[in-house]
Amino acid sequence: MSKQPRNDLMKIGELAEASGVSVRSIRHYDQHGMLASSRSGNGYRAFQPVSVNQVKQIQRLIAAGFSLEEIRSFPECMLLIEGALACPEISETQRKRLAILDRQIEMLNKQRSRLRAMLVVST
């Protein structure tokens, strides 16, 4: 992390407000190497404006079920463009995640059916 002049850099609180994500989450992403930050003269983290899109995209990928480890392995095309749907490099990872979710849904549907059957028998 290098020291850069302030110019258009954002403080962590500004990034949190602009992205709608907590300061704690942003620190976590930064510590895991998912965001590029620099340090200002006073030692505070400073972020490029593109970090807003990166944070939103990280949140979107987490909501889709990806772990931080998986997201960290994604190419920059997935993190630099908010709303990026896919890069050829991660299509297989997305298919695997979808298969996992499909299995979980199937298992939950079976559990729900069993529970409903139990309720019908007990009433």
**Do 76 and 106 have their domain in common?**
no
Please give the tally of structural domains in the chain. Answer: 2
28 and 9 part of one domain: yes
Kindly report, residue by residue over 84-116, the tens digit of the pLDDT. 666 777 788 889 989 999 999 999 999 999 999
User: Do 8 and 54 sit in the same domain of this protein?
Assistant: yes
pTM for the whole thing?
0.72
Closest CA to 55 of 93, 12, 87, 88: 12
- Specify whether 13 is located in the same domain as 65: yes
pLDDT tens-place string over residues 40-96: 788 888 999 889 988 998 998 899 888 888 888 887 766 666 556 667 777 888 899
User: What is the span of the domain harbouring residue 98?
Assistant: 86-123
Same domain, 77 and 103: no
CATH code of the domain containing 16: 1.10.1660.10
Q: Is residue 60 domain-shared with residue 19, that is, in the same domain?
A: yes
